[in-house]
Amino acid sequence: MVSQTLVLDLVERAGAVATGATFTVEWRVEDSAAALETLAAWSERTGNQVVDVGDTSALLRRGRASDPLAELDPDQLPGTRLWMYTNFDCNLACDYCCVRSSPQTERRALGVDRVQQLAAEAVAAGVSELILTGGEPFLLPDIDEVVAACTAQLPTTLLTNGMLFKGNRLERLRRMDRQRLTLQISIDSATPEIHDSHRGKRSWERAVDGIRIAHEEGFRVKVAATLPAEQIHELEPFHDFLDSIGIAREDQVIRALAHRGVSETGIELTVESLIPEVTITADGVYWHPIAADHEDQLVSRELFPLKDRIDEVRARFVEHRQRADAAAAWFPCA
C-alpha cells in the first residue's frame, strides 16, 4: 500500500531544493511499511535517490549523486593496480612498519599458485599493474617464480629493502624479467642516521648497495621514502642524493608516515579517508596496503573471483563517498 500523503510530500520537497541537494521526509511509525514501498516506487519512477532510511524519516537526493568513481583520476580507480603481500616475515624490524613485519613474524605466504591465479584474473578484471610487497619478498625461496607469474601477465613492481642481493637470492633476482619488472627499494634519508634509526644498523649502507647491484643487473629502480610529516618540507637534499645514485625524479616516491602497525605516530588513515588500493594477502582482501594487517580494512576473506572483490571495493568506496556528501549536506556550518 503506497502512502498517498508521502508522495505529495516527496514531490513538494524535491521541488524545493536544487538538483543534487538532499531533503527529508517523515512519516508515522505505523505507516513504515507503506512508506518504504512508496520511497522505492517514487525514486525508481522519478530518478531521484534514497540516501538513507530511518524508522520514521528518510533522506533523499533530488536527482542522482555524481559518480565518485568518475570523479577520480583514471589512475586512482580502485583495481587499476593490484597489491599482493607475498609474505609478512622480514629480515628487518622497522619501528614504523605498517604491517608489523619482523624476523619473528609468521610468514603467511600467498604462494605461487594463488599469485598465478590472481595475476591471470587481474588481466581479465582490467588491472594494469601488479605490485608485490611484504615483509621482505626476497626471503621466499620461490620469489623468482612468484615474480615470473606476475610479469608473464602484467607490468610488475616488487618492493624490497634491497639488502639480500647475494648468493642464491642474487641468482633469483637475475632470473627476473628486466623488461616487465621494476624494483622499489626503501631509503628514508640522504645519510645513514635517520634511515638506520628506524630500520637498523647499517641498513642504509646495504640498501644503497642493493640499488647499485640492481642497476648493474639492468633493473629499473624506484626509491620510496617513508617520512614523518615534519620532514616532508625538507626534501631537496634528499632528492639531490637520489639523483646522485641514478634514480630518476619520477622514480623518487615520498610517502608520509602512517599511524599503523607498530608505528606510534603518523597520519591516521581510515577506510573513509583512503582511496582504496585493492590489496591481497594470504588472509584476505584489504582496502589498502597500508592496513593489510588490520581488521578494520578487511574487505573479504575470499580472494576469488578477483573481479568480484574489486567490484565490492568500488561499491564500498562509492557508498562511503556518497554518505560523506550526504553528511556534509546534513551539517552545514553556516
Binding site for another protein (CB under 8 A): 2, 4-5, 7-8, 11-12, 15-19, 21, 41-42, 45-46, 62
Backbone torsions φ then ψ of 237, nearest 5 degrees = -60, -35
Question: Is residue 92 exposed (0-12), middle (13-18) or buried (19+ Cβ within 10 Å)?
Answer: buried
Residue bearing cell 622514480: 251
Please report how close the Cβ of residue 137 comes to another protein at its closest, in angstroms: 47
Q: Which CB, 7 or 267, lies closer to another protein? A: 7
Please report how close the Cβ of residue 283 comes to another protein at its closest, in angstroms: 45
Q: Are strands 49-53 and 57-61 parallel, antiparallel or unpaired?
A: antiparallel
Please report how close the Cβ of residue 3 comes to another protein at its closest, in angstroms: 8
Q: Which CB, 21 or 232, lies closer to another protein? A: 21
Please report how close the Cβ of residue 22 comes to another protein at its closest, in angstroms: 12
Three cell numbers written together for 279: 590489496
Q: Which CB, 2 or 229, lies closer to another protein? A: 2
Strand partners, 258: 267
Q: Which CB, 61 or 62, lies closer to another protein? A: 62
d(CA 278, CA 314): 9
Three cell numbers written together for 128: 594494469
Three cell numbers written together for 277: 588500493
287, 294 Cβ separation under 8 angstroms: no
**Cα distances (angstroms) measured from residue 124 to each of 153, 195, 247, 305, 311:** 10, 40, 33, 11, 13
Please report how close the Cβ of residue 17 comes to another protein at its closest, in angstroms: 6
223, 242 Cβ separation under 8 angstroms: yes
d(CA 135, CA 186): 12
Q: Which CB, 20 or 192, lies closer to another protein? A: 20
Q: Are strands 279-281 and 284-286 parallel, antiparallel or unpaired?
A: antiparallel
Please report how close the Cβ of residue 62 comes to another protein at its closest, in angstroms: 8
The HSE-up count of residue 104 (CA atoms within 13 Å, CB side) is 3
Q: Which CB, 45 or 249, lies closer to another protein? A: 45
Q: Which CB, 21 or 170, lies closer to another protein? A: 21
- H and E: helices and strands count for the chain: 10, 12
Please report how close the Cβ of residue 54 comes to another protein at its closest, in angstroms: 22
Please report how close the Cβ of residue 32 comes to another protein at its closest, in angstroms: 17
Three cell numbers written together for 157: 613492481
Three cell numbers written together for 87: 609474505
Map residue 18 onto helix, strand or coil.
Answer: coil
Q: Which CB, 41 or 315, lies closer to another protein? A: 41
Q: Which CB, 3 or 87, lies closer to another protein? A: 3
> Angle formed by the axes of helices 143-151 and 112-124, to 10°?
10
Please report how close the Cβ of residue 47 comes to another protein at its closest, in angstroms: 9
